[in-house]
Chain A
Amino acid sequence: MRKYRNRIIAVILGIVLFLSWLWTGKREISGEDKEIYEEALGLQEQVDELGFGGFCLADYPVAMYDGEWDHVFYDGEIKRRKPVLETFAGTAYPVEDHFEVIVPTLEQFDSLMSLAGGVEGMVSGSGYGAREQISTIWHEAFHAYQLTDHAVLGERITPEEMQEELEGQEDQEADETADMKNSLENEMKLLKETVDMVLTDTGERTDAAALAEYIDGIKEMVLEYRECRRERMAKMSQEARDAEIRCELTEGTAYYVEYSVYGMTAGAQACQERYLENLDWYEGGRGKYYRTGLAKCLILDALAPGWRETFDFTKGLDEVLEEAAK
């Protein structure tokens, strides 16, 4: 026995070390991610003021994916489960009979940024930190709201149908010829000019005539934009037109909510720099429709204050904008 004493001590030491390592292993989501969720929830009252009826973050489970597990925040609890989507994405995703918000944890986003050329541990410096994560959560929650409470363009999709659609999805990018690209760039410029006009307005007018003149100015720009868009859309297939209208409606309004939430946490200046300075930037893919949609929501704020209270996603943003500009 004496002969083996040292070996036994060494083995026990190893077992204790191993068990301690297992015991202290990451079983919970980080405090930072918990704070982010709590802070996001705490903005509900301010988001209510936007006026989208029945839109409540707490209604939707929010799953944060840490690369191994989903940590699902819902109903005051955090539950760990095997990931629904084994990839890093910000999305509203069908889970069983409901939609959930899925985002990567901030730590994973940090690591993703370092892979993309940023520096590990410096997420805030890379332009994505807690505030951006909070805005993303609200953005995706708005998609969950669109899909749960509304028939987008008259079409209500159940989580099961959405799941099937996602599984069989193929990339259906509309043809973007140089001509179409130029037209779209021109439209984006017009929208940005209109938004600049709306947002730089001080609202200090002494009479109704001045206000009418200001509103007429916006309407004129909207009508000019409308003509350009009609010309471009006439050259597109029905399928591509529908896809653009749907994307702009769902993403544009969600981006508008994201923009508003970011303004609540980061302030107007930071919000302007992040969302408005690039409002007329053209890019391939869907990103441009986020921006054209946001621009239209901001113009609607000036032309039809309170438009959000009655907004039910049955019409495209252009249609709503045209009605407001009549």
Chain B
Amino acid sequence: MMGIMRNALRERIRRKDIYVVIVLGLLIALMCMSGTVTLSIDGVAVTEVRLLLPLVLNVVSVVGGGMAVALSLRTIPNEYERKVSHLVWMRGISQWNYHGQLALANMVSSVGALFILYAGVMVFAAVKGETGVLIRSIPGFVLYAAGTAGVSLFTSAASLIFPGMAAGVLAAAVMLAGTMQPVLRTLSGIASGVSRGILRGILAVTPDLYAASSQAGEFLLGKKVDVHGVLGGLLFLYAGAALLYIVRKKECA
């Protein structure tokens, strides 16, 4: 039943692009941990895992979002370009099912790549003896991955509507605006006139991916989780799925 998704995943592994993206992501994560990139506040180096963890998770979340865009952008358009879709219709598989399975493959590969980065962060926590963080790591990942999964579904849906470059730019813009929501909110508080209107508009139409991923950090550290942030991530995930369901390719409709 999930044959299309399995094939898409196999192809993804064959293409090896996922490895390139993961190596790049791992490199960034390792730099954050190894001291090659040091963080200092008022001249004091920040090495405390409880201070570093939210920051590293934010960095990994942005990298994960970028990977989700890269991994999800071409899957569905490539299928149509190869003109193999008619073989699927012949088997009586609906367009929604077809798109859904391809998008699911995108989502699984994006979340899988994110998990590898996340595992790196957990190794760092283990080395630092943060057993509490490790115990909460699996449910923490579920919270953490919602935003990345949403970005993947949104990119898949955008790739159905727009040509490659436009879909990529749009998905990347939504992802970046989502992960930079606190900064945009602050800027909208400083700006005035048209700039304020534009910033408020961007804030209104983009998901707060920062809140969604930062709640995972709060959860991992045993702090109180803001349910609104988590629901925001899930809502974006739902919106991506709904968009995929609604959007149909004209040639096959």
Residues of A within 8 A of B (CB): 10, 13-14, 17-18, 20-21, 24-26, 65, 67-68, 86-88, 104, 108, 111-112, 114-115, 118-122, 125-127
Q: Which of B46, B54, B185, B231 contacts A24 (CB 8 A)?
A: B231
User: A115 and B41: CB pair below 8 A?
Assistant: no
Q: B119-127, B129-137, B187-195: which lies at the A interface?
A: B187-195
Tell me the smallest distance from the CB of B27 to a CB of chain A, in Å: 22
With A17-B235, A125-B42 as contacts: A115 and B228 at CB distance below 8 Å: no
Against A, the Cβ 8 Å flags (1 = close, 0 = not) of B211-233 are: 00000000000000011100110
Is B238 interfacial (CB-CB < 8 Å)?
yes
Residues of B within 8 A of A (CB): 39, 41-42, 44, 46, 51, 54-55, 58, 182-183, 185-190, 192, 196, 226-228, 231-232, 234-235, 238, 242, 245
Taken together as a complex, chains A and B put the C-alpha atoms of A115 and B189 apart, in Å, by 12
User: B234 and A17: CB pair below 8 A?
Assistant: yes
Tell me the smallest distance from the CB of B52 to a CB of chain A, in Å: 11
Tell me the smallest distance from the CB of A160 to a CB of chain B, in Å: 23
Taken together as a complex, chains A and B put the C-alpha atoms of A265 and B116 apart, in Å, by 45
User: B182 and A120: CB pair below 8 A?
Assistant: yes
User: B55 and A111: CB pair below 8 A?
Assistant: no
Tell me the smallest distance from the CB of A69 to a CB of chain B, in Å: 11
Residues of A contacting B234 with CB < 8 Å?
Answer: 17
Taken together as a complex, chains A and B put the C-alpha atoms of A92 and B249 apart, in Å, by 58
Tell me the smallest distance from the CB of A128 to a CB of chain B, in Å: 11
Query: Taking CB as reference atom, which chain B residue is nearest A109?
Result: B186
User: B42 and A127: CB pair below 8 A?
Assistant: yes
Query: Taking CB as reference atom, which chain A residue is nearest B40?
Result: A125
User: B185 and A67: CB pair below 8 A?
Assistant: yes
Residues of A contacting B242 with CB < 8 Å?
Answer: 10, 14
User: B54 and A121: CB pair below 8 A?
Assistant: yes
Q: Which of A20, A108, A114, A125 contacts B189 (CB 8 A)?
A: A108
Q: Which of B185, B189, B231 contacts A17 (CB 8 A)?
A: B231
Tell me the smallest distance from the CB of A205 to a CB of chain B, in Å: 39
Query: Taking CB as reference atom, which chain B residue is nearest A127?
Result: B42
Residues of A contacting B185 with CB < 8 Å?
Answer: 67-68, 108, 111
Query: Taking CB as reference atom, which chain A residue is nearest B189?
Result: A67
Taken together as a complex, chains A and B put the C-alpha atoms of A87 and B188 apart, in Å, by 9
With A21-B228, A111-B186 as contacts: A119 and B41 at CB distance below 8 Å: yes
User: A125 and B192: CB pair below 8 A?
Assistant: no
Most chain-B CB neighbours within 10 Å: which of A26, A67, A104, A125? A67
User: B228 and A24: CB pair below 8 A?
Assistant: yes
Q: Which of A21, A114, A126 contacts B182 (CB 8 A)?
A: A114
User: B232 and A87: CB pair below 8 A?
Assistant: no
User: B41 and A13: CB pair below 8 A?
Assistant: no
What 5 A-B pairs come out closest when comparing CB atoms? A125-B41, A67-B189, A111-B186, A24-B228, A21-B231
Most chain-B CB neighbours within 10 Å: which of A25, A65, A104, A122? A122
Tell me the smallest distance from the CB of A269 to a CB of chain B, in Å: 15
User: B238 and A13: CB pair below 8 A?
Assistant: yes
Most chain-A CB neighbours within 10 Å: which of B192, B235, B245? B235
Tell me the smallest distance from the CB of A87 to a CB of chain B, in Å: 6
Residues of B contacting A26 with CB < 8 Å?
Answer: 228
Tell me the smallest distance from the CB of A139 to a CB of chain B, in Å: 21
Most chain-A CB neighbours within 10 Å: which of B44, B188, B189? B189
User: B183 and A126: CB pair below 8 A?
Assistant: no
A-B contact pairs, 22 of them (CB 8 A): A13-B238, A17-B238, A21-B231, A21-B232, A24-B231, A25-B228, A67-B185, A67-B186, A67-B189, A87-B190, A87-B192, A104-B189, A111-B185, A112-B186, A114-B183, A114-B186, A115-B183, A119-B39, A119-B55, A121-B54, A122-B51, A126-B41
Taken together as a complex, chains A and B put the C-alpha atoms of A68 and B183 apart, in Å, by 14
Tell me the smallest distance from the CB of B153 to a CB of chain A, in Å: 14
Residues of A contacting B228 with CB < 8 Å?
Answer: 21, 24-26
Residues of B contacting A24 with CB < 8 Å?
Answer: 226-228, 231
User: A86 and B238: CB pair below 8 A?
Assistant: no
Tell me the smallest distance from the CB of A67 to a CB of chain B, in Å: 4
User: B189 and A87: CB pair below 8 A?
Assistant: yes
User: A67 and B235: CB pair below 8 A?
Assistant: no
User: A88 and B41: CB pair below 8 A?
Assistant: no
Tell me the smallest distance from the CB of B167 to a CB of chain A, in Å: 23
Taken together as a complex, chains A and B put the C-alpha atoms of A20 and B234 apart, in Å, by 11
Tell me the smallest distance from the CB of A252 to a CB of chain B, in Å: 27
Q: Which of A10, A20, A104, A118 contacts B231 (CB 8 A)?
A: A20
With A111-B182, A121-B54 as contacts: A21 and B189 at CB distance below 8 Å: no
Residues of B contacting A65 with CB < 8 Å?
Answer: 189
Residues of A contacting B41 with CB < 8 Å?
Answer: 118-119, 122, 125-126
User: A18 and B235: CB pair below 8 A?
Assistant: yes
User: A86 and B192: CB pair below 8 A?
Assistant: yes
Taken together as a complex, chains A and B put the C-alpha atoms of A104 and B186 apart, in Å, by 10
Taken together as a complex, chains A and B put the C-alpha atoms of A203 and B228 apart, in Å, by 57
User: A108 and B186: CB pair below 8 A?
Assistant: yes
Residues of B contacting A122 with CB < 8 Å?
Answer: 41, 46, 51
Taken together as a complex, chains A and B put the C-alpha atoms of A258 and B245 apart, in Å, by 58
Tell me the smallest distance from the CB of B53 to a CB of chain A, in Å: 11
Most chain-A CB neighbours within 10 Å: which of B54, B186, B231, B242? B186
